[in-house]
Amino acid sequence: MGFISEFKDFAMKGNVMDMAVGVIIGGAFGKIVTSLVENVIMPIVSVATGGVNFAEKLAYKMGEGEGAAEVKLGAFLQSAFDFVIIAFCIFIMIKMVNKARLAIEGEPEPEVKEDPADIQLLREIRDSLKKG
């Protein structure tokens, strides 16, 4: 089997296609959450904290001239809010999928492991000794 045909088989498997769709939807969802945080949540937080714009006010310049750098803590906080919201949404979705899977498939039956022969023999001996 050639390299191209192996790649074609790999790319056309259902899991890869599902993953691609998930990545595309995840990217779009990430943009929605970023917009929610930047345009809705952070302005409300800004009003609650007396008009502080976290993206601009929580930035510190280090150094001067061409080698200066800016540490943007406010932008980091916004990204942290994004992460928490996305992680929570993923948690909720996985919880719903698991609940739906249980409803469809039912509770998995526990595996009943049979004891080894020597353990069974010892139990029989114990039980017969108890009987007298």
Query: How far apart are the C-alpha atoms of 90 and 103, rounded to whole Å?
Result: 20
The DSSP output letter for 60 is E
Cβ 82 vs Cβ 30: under 8 Å = yes
Question: Domains (ranges, CATH) in the chain?
Answer: 3-109 (1.10.1200.120)
Reported as a single tens digit per residue, the pLDDT across 6-48 is 877 777 776 777 777 788 888 888 888 888 888 888 888 888 8
What pLDDT does residue 1 have? 67
Tally the C-alpha atoms within 13 A of residue 80's C-alpha that lie toward its C-beta.
Answer: 8
1 or 34: which leads in pLDDT: 34
Query: How far apart are the C-alpha atoms of 22 and 93, rounded to whole Å?
Result: 13
Average pLDDT, the chain: 83
% the chain with pLDDT above 90: 5
Segment 55-82 mean pLDDT: 82
